[in-house]
Structure 1
């Protein structure tokens, strides 16, 4: 606990000793209630192991207000320092091991140590930033946006904590959460499959050099790749964001650039011959495509590469 606090601000040796002396250990079982709704919270807790949650009752409905796991501080929000009754219940979601410092001791330490006041201020500021963001997304965002926000800001919680509590925290029904979780998992699987398919197409184009075939078409390439024409077209348009001919010509141009860079190539072959060998069937198509991809003419590119002996 002190190691985490020291990351925020160095703690004096005297304060460390006071905290060690006054720290109390607690162990609670899953579903145990630490603080009752309408009761008094006597401690500031630090979670060493396990998970806690806060919940309140509104019109007979229990609503989860927060969930916290290891290395987080927990106390009553509405009844901080035991000065007011707690409007939320604090209970264990899992078996928990806690450290706690009594509120009376904390008040004494606040009066004695400036560094504790500074630490507590930073902790409260961070808590309210998180709470404001959480409140905003719950009120404004769609159910899917709330789900995405939760898994991004609380990694591992979804796999670890009961879904009925998470659903309550995100203001949705458990069935809605289950549906969104399933849809998101399917989208991740689809994204992974699409990524693998893109790599497969790229590797095939480079390894087989099918772009050299002047008669290559969307249909013939889809047959070679064992894909439907629709699949390949969709992949090119949505993932590579290119039309079929632009996609093929890109590989042809990259191949030509590699050939031009080889010593002696243009001493024995004309640029048009190199282009023809790469799959271009017309001089104009080659020049237009080269300038579109490279930003200069093939002759300018060759000269910039120090290849002045152009056949």
Structure 2
């Protein structure tokens, strides 16, 4: 298959590249002129090879649209070594500057629009232009940070942990690029990746549902004040929420880390504490009345729960507020 043929870069592409370069470091008029004269563009079709393995890479590429990947063949197996998308520079690191052959091919995952500068031009500019040296240093630093991340991806833990790390750091790659290439990059079989991805998406749905269930539980307590019902039970609350008793109990234990009665009593005690703290409230209501209004049916049970949760008796708590006011 013939390689993509370079064409003269358009003014719009040139202006875009110069704008991005200026954001990194202000470039001189001389460098702008050199780039204007030597910038070329490539249109690369999906699956087309831009640079073959064991051949020379003659350009530093910049992706305007599409996605490229590096891929090496080892023992008859093709292994993806990186994937890059829009606004990223791409070249061969093993064959950088075209001085050595590339140990990996560069090919298109999608139809791509690419602009590039020949390595011979870059080598000449390195000798005369400080700004291109600085810009190249920034690009190389970013590349090695990405390379370190890719190395970390394939080394960390299990297949599931590698997937989670990649999904968090490269979410756009996971949703956009073919799973077979992502699987190769993560050193796992495509079917393994598909199964892990499905389970992860299912867990996200479950987590969202769990969060919504927890909000409903808290709302019926904080807004509807169901804790004031002396006869409230796991069964009555689950019926109110339209949950099964098992689901409600599981949510309380796993999400709130409380048993049902402790969960209800926490709302009751916090409500009573707020009532005690209101100026003048104890002139009109006894603490026992506040407890009764909050859902406690037994004075002794209230005092026991209050001391356990607050660390002092209701009377001592009221005195501490008066002392500190």
Superposed pair shares fold, TM > 0.5: yes
Distance 2:56 2:116 in 1: 15
Distance 2:210 2:64 in 1: 42
Distance 1:87 1:128 in 2: 17
2:22 aligned with 1:6, yes or no? yes
Distance 2:26 2:40 in 1: 22
Q: CA deviation at 1:296?
A: 5.5
Structure 1, gaps ≥5 residues long: none
Question: Do the aligned partners of residues 214 and 13 (structure 1) sit closer, same or farther apart at CA in structure 2, a change above 3 Å counting?
Answer: same
Could you tell me the TM-score, scaled by structure 2's length? 0.87
1:162 maps to 178
Distance 2:183 2:273 in 1: 56
1:27 maps to 43
2:125 aligned with 1:109, yes or no? yes
Counterpart mapping for 1:229-244 below 5 A: 229-244=245-260
2:291 aligned with 1:279, yes or no? no
1:131 maps to 147
Q: CA deviation at 1:227?
A: 2.0
Q: CA deviation at 1:38?
A: 1.4
Look up the SS of the partner of 1:280 in the other structure: coil
2:203 aligned with 1:187, yes or no? yes
Q: CA deviation at 1:175?
A: 0.7
2:126 aligned with 1:100, yes or no? no
2:95 maps to 79
CA contact (8 A) 2:82 2:150 kept: no
Q: CA deviation at 1:140?
A: 3.5
Look up the SS of the partner of 1:240 in the other structure: coil
Structure 2, gaps ≥5 residues long: 1-16
Look up the SS of the partner of 2:69 in the other structure: strand
Q: CA deviation at 1:25?
A: 1.6
Counterpart mapping for 1:202-213 below 5 A: 202-213=218-229
CA contact (8 A) 2:153 2:166 kept: no
Distance 1:294 1:21 in 2: 77
Look up the SS of the partner of 2:154 in the other structure: helix
Q: CA deviation at 1:32?
A: 1.4
Shift >6 Å, 4+ stretches: none
| CA RMSD in angstroms, aligned pairs only | 2.2
2:256 aligned with 1:256, yes or no? no
Distance 1:196 1:5 in 2: 46
Could you tell me the TM-score, scaled by structure 1's length? 0.91
Q: CA deviation at 1:300?
A: 5.2
Distance 2:281 2:82 in 1: 69
Write the deviation string for residues 152-190 of structure 1: whole angstroms up to 9, x where unpaired: 111221221111111111111111111011000000000
Larger mean CA deviation between 6-15 and 26-35 belongs to 6-15
2:244 aligned with 1:228, yes or no? yes
Distance 2:189 2:223 in 1: 51
1:50 maps to 66
Question: Do the aligned partners of residues 3 and 284 (structure 1) sit closer, same or farther apart at CA in structure 2, a change above 3 Å counting?
Answer: farther
1:144 maps to 160
1:218 maps to 234
Write the deviation string for residues 112-137 of structure 1: whole angstroms up to 9, x where unpaired: 12222222222222222221232133
Q: CA deviation at 1:306?
A: 5.6
How many residues are aligned here? 308
Of the candidates 138, 155, 159, which is equivalent to residue 122 of structure 1?
Answer: 138
Q: CA deviation at 1:297?
A: 4.7
CA contact (8 A) 2:39 2:115 kept: yes
